[in-house]
Copies of this chain bind each other. A is one copy, B any other.
Amino acid sequence: MRSLFNAILFTLVIIIIVTVIFSFPLRVSGAESAETSPAVSEATEECLGCHEEVTPQIVADWKTSRHSRISFAGALKKDALSRRVSAEKVADNLSGVVVGCAECHTLFPDSHKDTFAHGGYKVHVVVSPADCAICHPVEQRQYSQNKMAHAYGNLVNNSLYRSLMNSINHVHFMEKGKVKQVPAPGNTDEDSCLACHGTKVEVKEFKQVETDIGEMTFPILSGWPNQGVGRINPDGTMGACTTCHPRHGFSIEVARKPYTCSQCHSGPDVPSYKVYGLSKHGNIYSALHHHWNFEAVPWTVGKDFTAPTCAACHISLLTTPSGDVVANRSHRMNDRLPWRLFGLVYSHPEPKSADTSIIKNKAGLPLPTELTGQPASEFLIDKKEEEQRLASLKSVCRACHTTRWVNGHFVRLKNTLKETDKSTLTATQLLLQAWEKGVASGPEQKDGIFNELIERYWVRHWLFYANSIRFASAMMGVDYGVFHNGRWQLTRNIEQMKELLKKHSK
């Protein structure tokens, strides 16, 4: 009898253990919510009252988020490595409640120009990094020092880049048998380059609108909607945390998976996502990621995942199974990047300042290198910083690879940078010949340098081909850099430039 009971109990224990193991991904959240079950603030309750009807999916999505289950006070209880907030303290009224609608959308009402009276509250539409910084100040500060936060200004405040943007977006029309062109309307830029770089979101007016529940006043925004990384928000801050942590689930799983980065990093100008997909890292990710844990903080190499995603190499806090830190979390993503592979024209050391619109080369152009390739060194990190960043990056590689393996890899990458820069110099020299011979109009004729056909061939040489080869080499997705969009196209492009020159020089 006794032994039968024991047998039953033993079986039960086994079953419970098995069940708990299999329910792992759900367990974390379930347990936490049971443990803390913090209150929803009165203000957020009011928001939810209407919005569960009006925008049901926003509410449902938020309910899947960690924000809906945990308070700042609860988040603070974790040990330092596991903590997801970087503030030490928040205001008392925020500390004990879950992070709901009101906790973000009513912060700093005076600094947000899109603040409007809504249901008795001062609500703003566009939650900005300044709002997020209440709980995540370190991430906000790091990100503000990241080129991505400056992506709007880095594009539109650089006369050359703006002219490249215009050459892509302008509209052709025919007048008296001649093709002319006008700059695109603002909406076009917003629907093109600024979709990724970020728009300038401004309040055009406050407008009374008839809704199902009566007349209401809303701010009408220009540059909206937008989730660009360098969006200029109505409170003047730069960037959008929701680019990578899309609202209102704010899922770390989303941010850690490569699809998030693909939104802006898969075109021929910056094909990181496509290269990753063809690399051994990407192959293993695709085949096995359903076995991995994308929620754990810190993220343990080998235990939580067995091949890196974009976030693993460039952002996340990584530890070994025995708890040693492999790399610190950084939202200043070039902390682990010594070189810029896809800057204008030539590869070069990373810029010192996240605001790259301040750069001027010796020829007076707003470029990080001369047109012949020499770096504009005073604006770029020095050798020592370069080596330190390379060391940080290599320490991530070495969690899985031997030192010789890693060194061999970087020898090749450096060779690739050198050879693609050499090829780009040749293309540039061909362009100079074209301008000299009058095959195209260049700076001397006060004409743009990105608009005519041979100029376009020159642009794609570095913006698409040299670029893609470098990414393919850097991330070992080598096939991409051969026939997809790489060495084949690079060497062919020289032949096409020669052909155009030859034809017109006859």
Q: Which residues of A contact B (CB under 8 A)?
A: 4-5, 8-9, 11-12, 15-16, 18-19, 22-23, 26, 52-53, 55-61, 64, 125, 167-174, 177, 179, 184-185, 187-188, 190-193, 195-196, 209, 211, 218-221, 224-225, 227, 246, 249, 251, 253-254, 257, 259-260, 262-264, 266-269, 277-280, 282-284, 286-288, 290, 301-303, 306, 320-322, 398-405, 408-409, 411-412, 415-416, 419, 422-423, 425-426, 429-430, 433, 451-453, 456, 463-464, 473, 476-484, 486-488, 491-492, 494-496, 498-500, 503
Contact = CB atoms under 8 A, between A and B. Distances in A.
A419 B188 contact: yes
Given A267-B483, A398-B55, A499-B453, A19 B16 contact: no
5 contacts: A209-B403, A253-B288, A254-B287, A257-B286, A259-B282
A422 to B, nearest CB: 6
A376 to B, nearest CB: 23
> How many copies of this chain?
3
B23 A306 contact: no
Nearest to A249: B306
A179 B18 contact: no
Contacts of A4: 5
A174 B12 contact: no
Nearest to A456: B492
A246 B280 contact: yes
Contact of A185 (B220, B419, B476, B480): B419
A205 to B, nearest CB: 11
Contacts of A419: 171, 184-185, 188
Contacts of A482: 168, 192-193, 195, 267
Q: Is the interface of A mostly helix, strand, loop or mixed?
A: helix
A168 B415 contact: no
Given A18-B23, A464-B483, A57 B302 contact: yes
Contacts of A185: 415, 419
A60 B302 contact: yes
B286 A259 contact: yes
A358 B407 CA distance: 36
Q: Which 7 residue pairs are nearest across A and B when measured between Cβ atoms?
A: A60-B302, A195-B478, A267-B483, A57-B302, A187-B415, A259-B286, A57-B400
A16 B11 contact: yes
Contact of A322 (B56, B301, B425): B56
Contacts of A306: 57, 60-61, 64, 249
A249 B430 CA distance: 50
Nearest to A305: B57
B278 A426 contact: no
Contacts of A171: 419, 422-423
Contacts of A227: 280
A263 B288 contact: no
A117 to B, nearest CB: 16
A191 B303 contact: no
Nearest to A222: B408
